Amino acid sequence: MKDNEVYQAAEIIKRGGIVAFPTETVYGLGADAFNPLAVARIFEVKKRPYFDPLIVHVATPADVKKLVKEIPSNAKKLIESFWPGPLTVVLLKEEEIPDIVTAGLPTLAIRMPSHPMALSLIKASQCPIAAPSANPFGYLSPTTAEHVREQLGDQVDLILDGGPCPVGVESSIISFLEERPRLLRPGGVSLEEIESLIGKVETNPIEEGRPSAPGMLPKHYAPRTPIVLDWNKKNLDLLEDKNIGLLAFQEPKNYLKFQSIEVLSKKGDIREAAANLFAAIRRLDALDLDLILAEPIPEVGLGRAIMDRLRRASGNIEVNGDKNIG
């Protein structure tokens, strides 16, 4: 049954259509990377600015060679260890890759996902698949087929349902264009894992006129409801008459009446918290709350990716007397 669906999805990709599909990180919205018109539809459906390049997904590490000029040895090491999996490498691209995929950059972001359905789809489509996360630009990434259906349902040609995404945050993006590798986005492979293999990497995004990855815009991955990360018990009385949701890491102490509480991992497991993150924020976002307060997560392992997404989702609003957070 599922095989049939994957086959059907591959036919759609070959004919220049767009398909939402599961990966181990989040759901992607894919098209044939060599078909500029099909890729353009992804931008239209997502309302994504054309300056924001896409990640190209391949089915084997060998496919990278055809798409980039060279693979530095550190990139090779990471590919050997973490593919298939939630790691994207940015390398100098080959000429043939359409400009719309890379937003005119001379570089290409590539990864080989580990989700079996994603791999089957890429193989059956017989082309690399360009795919951003399958959400409207700026909103949270989808981690279930239902999330995609709710937001993009009638605009995509097919949605493959592979169940909830086991990792739950997007891939780590690491660029090899400078002398020292640079982590552009923390994600499913932790900084510790990366550095244990290739040594120290830069972690500050490059400051330029445009962001090197718009997932790095200060406000991104955001729900409609304001998220506040920087708060404490003392300044909560400012919020007495508000409807507030709590995004808790572990079981919360009940010091305020919250309208609703989402616990990311009862046992305090950061991987479990990452897997639950976007779905939990979506559930809170559906409740028409005035505010979502998020508890900080320890910034180790995937905690770094979680805090990165929470900071961007919050746009760095604080609970204090000066700012209107209603």
The reply on whether position 23 binds ligand TXA by CB under 6 A is yes
C-alpha distances (whole Å) from 262 to each of 121, 136, 238, 294, 315 are 34, 23, 22, 10, 20
Answer for which of 28, 128, 181, 223 binds ligand TXA (CB under 6 A) is: 28
Site string for ligand TXA, 57-86 (x = CB under 6 A): -----------------------------x
Least distance in Å: CB of 3 to ligand TXA?
21
Shortest distance (Å) from residue 11 CB to ligand TXA: 21
Residue 55 sits in the site that holds ligand TXA (CB under 6 A): yes
Residue of 157, 170, 285, 308 interacting with ligand TXA (CB under 6 A):
170
Contact 109, 38 (CB under 8 A): no
Q: Calculate the dihedral angle through the C-alpha atoms of 229, 234, 238, 239, rounding to the nearest 10 degrees.
A: 60
Residue reference for tokens 């924020």: 281
Contact 271, 213 (CB under 8 A): no
Cβ proximity to ligand TXA, 43 vs 249, nearer residue: 43
Report the alpha-carbon distance of residue 80 to residue 78 in Å, rounded: 5
Residue numbers 123-142 binding Mg ion by CB under 5 A: 133
Q: Which of 5, 12, 18, 25 binds ligand TXA (CB under 6 A)?
A: 25
Q: Which two tokens stand for residue 183?
A: 């982590």
Bridging pattern class, strands 244-248 and 129-130: unpaired
Q: How near is the Cβ of 244 to ligand TXA at its closest, in Å?
A: 29
Of 279, 276, 266, 256, the residue nearest 147 (C-alpha): 279
Q: Identify the residue among 11, 16, 36, 52 touching ligand TXA (CB under 6 A).
A: 52
Binding residues for ligand TXA, rule: CB under 6 A, are 23, 25-26, 28, 52-55, 86, 88, 90, 102, 105, 107-109, 113, 131-133, 170-171, 173, 184, 212-215
